[in-house]
Amino acid sequence: MTTKNVVIFIIIVALIILATFVFFPRQKPSQNQTLTVTEITPPAATGNVDELVDATIKEIEDENLSLKDEEKDISIITSDQQEISDFGQTINESEF
């Protein structure tokens, strides 16, 4: 092959690779869970003790819900960690 043919071959291969990335972009991995953002808005200050207690109880309940969501995230991470660890165990070099 001459250098001209090699250059043309390299250009053609580069164009094919470029076209593959342009026309078939990688899809983002889909997540099973959707991200939900909750905004906690405090009630207006009225000076009433009962409303203060109700607002505090509601704030505690909202915090507990967000903690449960965080625990779900942790369980997802730990399940992935276990799968990765199991993958590392699939090949036992001492068996060969």
Domain chopping of the chain, boundaries: 3-91
pLDDT at 2 over 70: yes
Of the pLDDT bands very low, low, confident and very high (cuts 50, 70, 90), residue 11 is very high
Residues 18-24 have a mean pLDDT of 79
Query: Which carries the bigger pLDDT value, residue 90 or residue 10?
Result: 10
Q: DSSP string of the chain? A: --HHHHHHHHHHHHHHHHHHHHHSPPPPPP-SS--------PPPP---HHHHHHHHHHHHHHHHHHHHHHHHHHHHHHHHHHHHHHHHTS--GGG-
pLDDT tens-place string over residues 30-89:
656 566 666 767 667 777 888 888 888 888 988 888 888 887 777 776 666 667 666 666
pTM for the structure as a whole: 0.36
